[in-house]
Amino acid sequence: MSSLCESNSSSHGNGDLVEQLASGFKIALQGAFGEAGTATDPSIKVAANPKFGDFQANFAMGLAKTLASSHGNHPKEIAQLVIDHAPQSLRDLCEPFEIAGPGFVNIRLRPTTIANALTAMDNSTLGVPNAKGLRTVAVDLCGVNVAKQMHVGHLRATIIGDTIARLYERLGWKVYRQNHLGDWGLPIAMTLAALRRAKIEIARVTLDDLNTAYRNAQAQGRDDEPGLAAARATQVGPHRIAELEAQHEGAAVALADAHDTLRRLQSGDTSVVADWQKLIDVTMCEVYETAATLGVDLKPDHNRGESFFRDRLAPTVDAFVQAKLAERDAGALVVRFADRERPLLIQKSDGTSLYATTDLAAVRYRIQDLGAERVVYCVDARQRDHFRDVFDAVRLIGWTKLPSGSDAHLVHVPFGAVLGPDKRPLKTRSGENFTLKALLDEAVARGRREVRARSAIPESPTAGMSSDELDAIGQAVGIAAIKYADLSSDVARDYVFDLDRMVSFEGDTGPYAQYAHARIAGILAKASGRDADCPIALVNAEERALALALLRYSNAVEDAAKQLAPNRLAAFIHELANTFNAFYQACPVLRGVDDATRASRLRMCDITRRVLADALSIMGIVAPNRM
RNA sequence: GCGGCCAUAGCUCAAUUGGAUAGAGCACGAGCCUACGAAGCUCGGGGUUGCAGGUUCGAGUCCUGCUGGCCGCGCCA
């Protein structure tokens, strides 16, 4: 597995301890076992338990297995031999090594090693490596449909996608956010046709109107032809057949109208195109507003909807036909795969294309036009099979090839459903989807209520703040509650939406992290004048633990990006906040300590605050200085 | 019918991708503020990781079978 940043992290002077230890053990491994040692991963991990030290090296057991034929060494002997070959540069970093269990090498760092590493990361990078725009990723996120309100499903596609985009941005990648809007094709035409039939003035239409029209259009267009055939075959009552026939005719009329509208839209009929544009404007206006509320970077620049690819659909289909990868089946064009029955449909029997076609055109655009070496899709887990097929089709035709000759990496990040208390997909009492707006309004109201309640206490740091200030803080808290709850568990899993738990502000929540940040900000505000370059002294266990937690930041960011797992970052945030709170409890910063200790602890507070704020900003969460 | 995902403490979730005694939070019990911010900290009880086998020095993690749940399966997106 290659590093996210090809350039050697140690050259950044970020004091990455794991890398320093790993390179030291590599030298030792080579010294002890030559070729076989060079090929061995030192496997440096954070210690499973603090009593085993700070880190552990787990190479010995695996190496014993590969060496078994030629040597007869036990893992413990192998570990000892490697330790005997440890270069002085490695020995200088650590207390004497210990071998324990089946062959673990326990590593305890010298306090100066930790202090030096912490000093080295105390700059604007906070130790995080930077690819300097030399690597490129496209992130498919949000994926709203025109004329439809955003609902909870879009919450995940939006904030998970935004966080992944921010992770890569933080690592210095060139990031293209791609909002794959549903803004083209029959569904939009149906809505448009329904609006025009109803003589609704499109210039003044609202998103609610559109939403209603969309639903009505879908209902009108629903044709139960199979049902009708079945009814005739089984000779059910004439009443039922008549009913189905009427529905069939109504649907036929609506569909014919929609098809006509679609034809005019596609041929550039100025009046239809103008109305269509208005639908998009009305829809997106609210999407941008919601994105802003959520702290998500989503703008018109990021729109790469179905309509954007409309002229690329025919060439896409042609390419598959030319490559003899597509074949006719019952009038439609399908791509078949060697290892599964299910084909990928890329053209309907009436000659029009469908969603897979757009997805294929979009992958090609992202790799060949944007130059993305990775394309990440933040889309509902139910579309697993679909993306598997699309990705395989792209590989078959060879569109993953980059100019450099290497292959672009396609990844679907499948996320689970948001469930209600009944463990069923979250719905309102009347069975409708919750609009995202309603959900966010509720969360913001709860956040504001909590913040106001606290500001009413005279000793509170927020006492006497203006109503606007409290509202802003309350909003930050409410949004953080929702986002952190979503991003802190494995995205692939379903989760139960429980606002009470999210906004409880206790335990592993967004507000807990914000609170830790605000506490530190409070200390720093009280400390008048501090020495930013003072020596860092690590005496207490809590100081040492805090320093080690801070030093894990770069790995947490890289790991979260590599695994496309925001919950890894959330786990880091929670652990850091936790470790800081313990430090804070045990180590006075401003009172009753000598100047050197005070300066050292203040510096650690400062770094901690910046790391917390930085990590939260990757999740698009605001960290207020007071709350 | 075929295929995919999942099952961990009473509840909600972790587990550094095969490493040491499976960890957090909530809830429950016991402590800590004339306050460097108690939205906090410390300590405690709570587990046959759905079941049965297998692979190996080592399995929550990999393989096989079973049970239970969710999801998907050609002209919707």
Q: pLDDT digit string (tens) for A399-453?
A: 999 988 999 999 999 999 998 877 888 887 777 788 899 999 999 999 999 999 9
- Specify if A35 maps to a domain: yes
**DSSP code per residue over A491-537:** TTS-EE--HHHHTT-SSSSHHHHHHHHHHHHHHHHHS-S--TTPPP-
Q: Are residues A174 and A195 in the same domain?
A: no
Q: Is there a contact between A220 and A251 (Cβ–Cβ < 8 Å)?
A: yes
Domain that holds residue A42: 14-109
- Gap from A327 CA to B5 C1', in Å? 31
**Which of A624, A622, A554, A571 minimizes the C-alpha distance to A167?**
A554
Which pTM was predicted? 0.93
Residue A386 lies in a domain: yes
Is residue A340 in a domain? yes
**DSSP-based three-state secondary structure for A248:** helix
pLDDT over threshold 50, residue A2: no
Residues A233 and A256 in one domain: yes
From CA A217, how far away is CA A250, in angstroms rounded?
11
How much is the ipTM here? 0.96
Residues 6+ positions from A253 with CB-CB distance below 8 Å: none
CB-contacted nucleotides of strand B (7 Å): 2-6, 12-17, 19-21, 24-27, 35-42, 56-58, 70-77
Q: List CB contacts of A142: < 8 A, sequence separation 6 or more.
A: A154, A157, A158, A161, A179, A180, A287, A291, A298, A302
Q: Which nucleotide's C1' sits nearest to the alpha carbon of A59?
A: B19
Token pair belonging to A390: 């699309």
Mean pLDDT of A375-400: 96
Query: Any idea which nucleotide's C1' is nearest the CA of A589?
Result: B36
Q: Is residue A425 in a domain? A: no
Residue A392: CA count within 13 A, CB half-sphere: 17
In this structure, the answer to whether residues A195 and A174 fall within a common structural domain is no
For residues A93 and A230, membership in a common domain is answered with no
Is the same domain home to A192 and A143? no
Which H/E stretch holds residue A137? strand A136-141
CA distance A106 to A95: 10
Same domain, A378 and A462: no
Report the pLDDT averaged over residues A598-618: 97
CA of A399 to C1' of B2 (A): 30
pLDDT category at A246 given cuts 50, 70, 90 is low
The torsion angles phi and psi of A99, rounded to 5 degrees, stand at -105, 130
* A232 and A326 fall within a common domain: no
CA of A104 to C1' of B40 (A): 36
Domain boundary among A391, A419, A447: A419
What residue is closest to B18 (Cα–C1')? A62
Statement to judge: residues A404 and A458 lie in one domain: no
Percent of chain A scoring above 90 in pLDDT: 72
Taking each helix axis as running N to C, give the angle between helix A152-170 and helix A553-562, from 0 to 180 degrees, rounded to the nearest 10.
130
Q: A573: which 2 tokens? A: 């945030």
Quick: pLDDT tens for A103-158: 999 999 999 999 999 999 999 999 999 999 999 999 999 999 998 889 888 999 99
| Pair A412, A482 in one domain | no
pLDDT tens across A187-208, in order? 889 899 988 888 888 888 889 8
Å from the A410 CA to the B61 C1': 25
Please indicate, yes or no, if residue A26 is contained in any of the structural domains. yes
* pLDDT tens per residue, range A87-100: 999 999 999 999 99
Write the CB contacts of A349 (distance below 8 Å, at least 6 apart in sequence): A330, A331, A332
The answer to whether residue A10 scores a pLDDT higher than 60 is no
Q: A76 CA, B50 C1': separation in Å?
A: 37
Round to a whole number and report the distance in Å from the CA of A29 to the C1' of B25. 41
CB atoms within 10 A of CB A119: 16
Q: How far is the CA of A345 from the C1' of B2 (A)?
A: 18
A552 inside domain: yes
Contact between A148 and A188 under an 8 Å Cβ cutoff? The reply is: no
CATH number of domain containing A20: 3.30.1360.70
Listed residue (A520, A591, A586) closest to A550, CA to CA: A520
What is the count of structural domains for chain A?
4
Point out the nucleotide closest to A598 (alpha carbon to C1′): B36
A254 and A174 share one domain = no
CB A163 within 8 A of CB A205: no
Residue A101's nearest nucleotide, by CA–C1', is B20
Q: Do A214 and A247 reside in the same domain of the chain?
A: yes
Most confident of the following: A72-81, A213-222, A536-545: A536-545
Residues A192 and A275 sit within 8 Å (Cβ to Cβ): yes
| Three-class SS state of A95 | coil
Report whether A345 contacts A334 (CB < 8 A). yes
Tens-digit pLDDT profile for residues A479-532: 999 999 999 999 999 998 888 778 777 889 999 999 999 999 999 999 987 888
Residue A557 domain flag? yes
Q: Where are the beta strands (DSSP E) in A228-312?
A: none
Residue at a domain's end among A419, A449, A478: A419
Task: Give the span between the Cα atoms of A415 and A380, in whole angstroms.
Answer: 5
Instruction: Report the mean per-residue pLDDT for chain A.
Output: 90
In a domain, A226, yes or no: yes
User: Same structural domain for residues A495 and A612?
Assistant: yes
Q: Does A227 have pLDDT greater than 80?
A: no
Per-residue pLDDT at A614 exceeds 80: yes
Write the secondary structure of A317-365 as one string of H (helix), E (strand) and C (coil): HHHHHHCCCEEEECCEEEEEECCEEEEEEEECCCCCCCHHHHHHHHHHH
